[in-house]
């Protein structure tokens, strides 16, 4: 895997205790970044911190639905590691596998609150400092479901479509500064999020991928690291697919 120079940069990775977030954190650290892992799971954060075994790792237990917790996590991060130049927003949940007719409204609200409102809360908190310093890279992790809509996953699909639109809007707002805001729309990766959905839904997602396999977290991290590097000096407000051939637009 190519390595990019992140020396002197501080990065926040939400959902960083496991899965995609953890894989991204590994590559950022390899490039010399200081990394703050934000996650709601305190025990998983501690496990990740020990596994990474680096003086350049900071952790913050934060529920991204709560703006006060997000603001507190940012204050803690910058106090420990300096101004944040990179955000990789990976935190999210799959939600229940149910048809719209059978979907629990409370579950709908929870999925949207975490996946979309949480994305807004984190982006809002971090972008202001990036604009003030005239440097920043934001990468939001959406999903191919946000483009195509998966059956029995309307809440997840709708929330990820919202992440795509939020990314495009913010990317245009910051385009006159050296702040790039992009998102990726991966097909399903074999992470713990699959534990939240039915085997039938897993089989459906796999059947839609022409490559015939799930994307790996390392493959996702490779694309993410270019997008949050200095090398990405022009592209903003864009959507990058990692769909194994599934995406048609």
Q: Each residue of 67-120: pLDDT tens digit? A: 999 999 999 999 999 999 999 999 999 999 999 999 999 999 999 999 999 999
| Residues annotated as part of the active site | 156
Average pLDDT over residues 49-68: 97
Indicate the length of the chain as a whole number: 249
* Residue 249 resides in a domain: no
What pTM value is reported for the model? 0.93
The CATH number of the domain holding residue 182 is 3.40.50.720
% pLDDT > 70, the chain: 97
* Residue 2 resides in a domain: no
Q: How many domains, in total, are found in the chain? A: 1
How high is the pLDDT of residue 194? Answer: 65
Confidence of residue 197 (pLDDT cuts 50, 70, 90): low
Q: Please give the distance of CA 8 from its chain centroid, rounded to a whole number.
A: 22
* Residue 1 resides in a domain: no
Average pLDDT over residues 133-160: 96
Give the burial string for 27-48 (b: 16+ CB within 10 Å, else e): bbbebebbbbbbbbeeebbeeb
Burial classification of residue 9, based on how many CB atoms lie within 10 Å of its CB (0-12 exposed, 13-18 middle, 19 or more buried): buried
pLDDT tens track for 3-30? 899 999 999 999 999 999 999 999 999 9
* Residue 154 resides in a domain: yes
Nearest by Cα to 14 from 161, 114, 156, 131 = 114
Q: What is the dihedral of CA 226, 227, 233, 238, to 10 degrees?
A: 140
DSSP H helices in the chain: 19-30, 42-52, 67-81, 105-112, 118-133, 145-148, 154-173, 199-207, 217-227
Average pLDDT over the chain, rounded to whole? 94
Contact 39, 62 (CB under 8 A): yes
% pLDDT > 90, the chain: 83
Confidence of residue 199 (pLDDT cuts 50, 70, 90): confident
* Residue 197 resides in a domain: yes
Cα distance between residue 5 and residue 213, in whole Å: 31
* Start-to-end Cα distance in the chain: 27
* Residue 3 resides in a domain: no
* Residue 4 resides in a domain: no
Half-sphere exposure of 50 (CA within 13 A, CB side): 6
Average pLDDT over residues 164-169: 98
Average pLDDT over residues 124-150: 97
DSSP state of 216: P
How high is the pLDDT of residue 209? Answer: 84
Average pLDDT over residues 149-154: 94
| Residue range(s) defining the domain that contains residue 172 | 10-242
Does the pLDDT at position 122 exceed 80?
yes
Does the pLDDT at position 192 exceed 70?
no
């Amino acid at each position: 895997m190519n390595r990019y120079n992140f020396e002197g940069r501080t990065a926040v990775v939400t959902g960083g205790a496991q899965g995609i977030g953890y894989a991204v954190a590994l590559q950022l650290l390899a490039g010399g970044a200081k990394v703050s892992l934000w996650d709601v799971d305190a025990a998983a954060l501690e496990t990740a911190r020990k596994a990474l075994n680096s003086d350049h790792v900071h952790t913050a237990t934060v529920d991204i639905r709560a703006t006060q917790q997000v603001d507190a996590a940012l204050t803690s991060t910058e106090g420990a590691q300096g101004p944040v130049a990179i955000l990789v927003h990976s935190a999210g949940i799959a939600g229940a596998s149910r048809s719209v007719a059978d979907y629990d409204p409370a579950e709908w609200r929870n999925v949207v609150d975490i996946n979309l409102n949480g994305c807004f809360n984190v982006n809002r908190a971090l972008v202001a400092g990036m604009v003030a310093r005239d440097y920043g890279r934001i990468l939001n992790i959406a999903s191919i479901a946000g483009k195509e809509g998966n059956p029995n996953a309307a809440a997840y699909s709708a929330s990820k479509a919202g992440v795509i639109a939020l990314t495009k809007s913010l990317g245009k707002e910051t385009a006159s500064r050296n702040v790039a805001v992009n998102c990726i729309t991966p097909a399903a990766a074999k992470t713990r999020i699959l534990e939240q959905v039915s085997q039938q839904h897993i089989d459906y997602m796999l059947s839609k991928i022409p490559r015939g396999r799930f994307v790996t977290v390392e493959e996702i991290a490779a694309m993410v690291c270019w997008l949050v590097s200095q090398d990405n000096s022009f592209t903003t407000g864009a959507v990058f697919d990692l769909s194994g051939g599934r995406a048609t637009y």
